[in-house]
Structure 1
């Protein structure tokens, strides 16, 4: 991503900030796992959205005073010995090129810099990304900093930037849409490889390996989320991800997976018969979900309330299940459909922002994923696309996959040598 993107994002943020304010954002660092191992590091997504920096322990500070903004990035001091073990850390020139922030300082100067700011100016506001999920979650660096600052400088008004940046992220720029489109394309290619190699009796993790191979061969190093590859009964468990079962002859296989491309995520759900042929009952359930998916897509356009998509899904699935006798009254639908049909998509797979309480606007990217889950029949079907809201309607970013029963059966008959 070009640094102009991050400069533009910061400019939008500064418009929301009070004068006489100090803003601080943290990249974070890898959590400790065990012994001398840490979990992989992923930059805080709001920090990345504002700076373009993907390294741990980097801190960004912006001062807004007399309506002018000064920016400083604090990076780790180079350590030649540690570089022999783990590689070089980012240099000042690299940090400038990635972020567009001209003033680069070393991280060990952060404390003295903060003190000098409060010694030399009268700040009234402190802004930090204070995201937290619950009381039980460990405090993040930003939360600790804000708490300490509130004690040391009790006259400060502390503000949470998390909802502000989250709302900025709802509408995607053209650059972001291109990355999301590419993530979707690579995800779809991985699914085609699964279809081309599936056969009854394979372990779920063997099928998953065919998806992984395509992503790794395209330079994808991270997934949007842990892959769900669920056969038979496992497909009726919404977030099943053990992927250790066996895809028996006659099973449907439900995939929910995605490539992460330059930090932007694809998210596709796909269902197919492992032996290449749907049973009549599987066709019936699959067709209901596919028609629902397509009708939901048709309703995507600016001005539509986000919740209207799920309300429509509930009405559609209720009517169809009453017709086939799977349910006897509308209240029973929840046994077979129990999640929302959509969520925002972007730097996070379940992307941030207050999108559920507003109407759709051009530039939003959302998912469309109706499903039906019938445990007593070991049938789980979910069909998901990623959809861009355009000026006058929608664009499906994940089109091109075989989706109808006939298309899936024909694709597997033509491309899967295991079933010929």
Structure 2
């Protein structure tokens, strides 16, 4: 990723903005955890997308006046005393080199510069990243700043730039795709290490430790999302995250995992028998899911909609369960399959999107395909998930090299046990 790439992204964003407007994006800070401990900092993904900078307490300001767009970056000033405790801060020269922004100032001048701009230039609207995942989500710095701006400059229109950035992020560049490939390969290493060491009686968190080790060896400080290691009955819980139960001989273990590389995430689901051998019943259900997943991946191409993929997933899974006598009617599939077939993937594991279920997929999108069956009365939870690039004429399964068939999983675990 180069500074030129970040400059091109900012240019693309500026074209989507109204004239006489300003964009303010905050890199964010680590949330407080307890007493004098904070959670691990992770950059606001939209700020990172436009600057390449991964440090806290920074502000990007873009101002658009006619055909002229001015880019300014505000960073923390070096503090020799504080740096003895928390490490050195990014210099002005480093910020310029990474972002490609030449106007870099210290944070303590931000309010004065913004105030002068609003007083001396025509500014009708200020764009902020006001995206919210849910009603209950805590207010961000952008939301708090929007309220302050409205109090001090009530004539300003406050607008949400989140949708414009989501549109830009939908289509991945070759560099972004390569980052996702790398994240997938690191995930593969973790899964293989987990399978090679799995034995009945192990705790789920022990399995997780074997997965985590290759990630650390590859420099991954934290995964793209909380790992799911769900054995037996836990496998029917979609977002099971406790990972604190003991595995039993005969259990299936459902994995939903993803390393991240340069903040681009993988998202892979695999299901395996902790003793290395599927029962005949487990194999029946597993192959229904696997065959459905392979057909779904083959159906991915430009122009296909999420609704079409979801409808196909339900039909394929229902046909499989009808063949086993578990259901008699397609409508009954909701008892055993109760989630969507996939989502966008990128800087977030559930990446930002402006698509609804009837919008067509486009070349350059990276999506997940993840059918599953969850048979609570038999303690069988199976999900198989791959990361798929939509190409000009079809698709490429970016994670096809990760163990997936019954035969390959059993052979790998048998070899590892020796």
Q: TM-score, normalised by structure 2?
A: 0.98
Aligned counterparts of 2:258 and 2:241: Cα–Cα separation in 1: 13
Residues 207, 133 of structure 1: CA spacing in aligned structure 2 closer, same or farther, 3 A cutoff? closer
Gaps of 5+ in 1: none
Q: Deviations over 1:170-219 (max 9, x none)?
A: 11000000000110111011111111111111111111111101111111
Aligned runs of 1:294-333 on 2, under 5 Å? 294-333=294-333
Q: Deviations over 1:58-101 (max 9, x none)?
A: 00111111220111100011111110000011110111111111
Aligned runs of 1:383-394 on 2, under 5 Å? 383-394=384-395
Matched, 1:382 2:407: no
Matched, 1:92 2:96: no
- How far is the alpha carbon of 1:132 from its aligned partner? 2.4
Q: Secondary structure at the match of 1:126?
A: strand
Provide the residue aligned with 1:16 in structure 2.
Answer: 16
Q: Deviations over 1:395-416 (max 9, x none)?
A: 1111112221111111111223
Matched, 1:249 2:246: no
In the alignment, is the contact (CA less than 8 A) between 1:195 and 1:416 conserved in 2?
Answer: no
Aligned counterparts of 1:73 and 1:107: Cα–Cα separation in 2: 9
Provide the residue aligned with 1:366 in structure 2.
Answer: 367
Aligned counterparts of 2:396 and 2:136: Cα–Cα separation in 1: 40
In the alignment, is the contact (CA less than 8 A) between 1:254 and 1:271 conserved in 2?
Answer: yes
RMSD: 1.1
Aligned runs of 1:192-341 on 2, under 5 Å? 192-341=192-341
Q: Deviations over 1:320-367 (max 9, x none)?
A: 111111113222211110000110000000000113342011100000
Aligned counterparts of 2:144 and 2:84: Cα–Cα separation in 1: 32
Structure 1 runs of 4+ with >4 Å offset:
none
Q: Secondary structure at the match of 2:281?
A: helix
Provide the residue aligned with 1:143 in structure 2.
Answer: 143
Aligned counterparts of 2:368 and 2:148: Cα–Cα separation in 1: 40
Provide the residue aligned with 2:409 in structure 1.
Answer: 408
Q: Deviations over 1:250-309 (max 9, x none)?
A: 111111001011100011000111111110100000000000000000001111112211
Q: Secondary structure at the match of 1:270?
A: strand
Aligned counterparts of 1:352 and 1:140: Cα–Cα separation in 2: 17
Q: TM-score, normalised by structure 1?
A: 0.97
Residues 135, 239 of structure 1: CA spacing in aligned structure 2 closer, same or farther, 3 A cutoff? closer
Provide the residue aligned with 1:124 in structure 2.
Answer: 124
Aligned counterparts of 2:402 and 2:129: Cα–Cα separation in 1: 39
- How far is the alpha carbon of 1:136 from its aligned partner? 3.6
- How far is the alpha carbon of 1:137 from its aligned partner? 3.1
Q: Deviations over 1:113-138 (max 9, x none)?
A: 01110121121121111112444433
Aligned counterparts of 1:135 and 1:359: Cα–Cα separation in 2: 28
Residues 299, 240 of structure 1: CA spacing in aligned structure 2 closer, same or farther, 3 A cutoff? same
Q: Secondary structure at the match of 2:356?
A: helix
Matched, 1:354 2:362: no
Q: How many aligned residue pairs are there?
A: 417
Q: More displaced, 403-412 or 174-183? A: 403-412
- How far is the alpha carbon of 1:52 from its aligned partner? 1.0
Q: More displaced, 120-129 or 289-298? A: 120-129
Matched, 1:164 2:164: yes
Gaps of 5+ in 2: none
Q: Deviations over 1:221-240 (max 9, x none)?
A: 12011110111111111111
Provide the residue aligned with 2:44 in structure 1.
Answer: 44
Aligned counterparts of 1:138 and 1:285: Cα–Cα separation in 2: 41
Residues 135, 337 of structure 1: CA spacing in aligned structure 2 closer, same or farther, 3 A cutoff? closer
In the alignment, is the contact (CA less than 8 A) between 1:344 and 1:355 conserved in 2?
Answer: no
Matched, 1:103 2:103: yes
Q: More displaced, 154-163 or 288-297? A: 154-163
Q: Secondary structure at the match of 1:356?
A: coil
Aligned counterparts of 2:257 and 2:330: Cα–Cα separation in 1: 31
Aligned counterparts of 1:299 and 1:132: Cα–Cα separation in 2: 32
Provide the residue aligned with 1:70 in structure 2.
Answer: 70
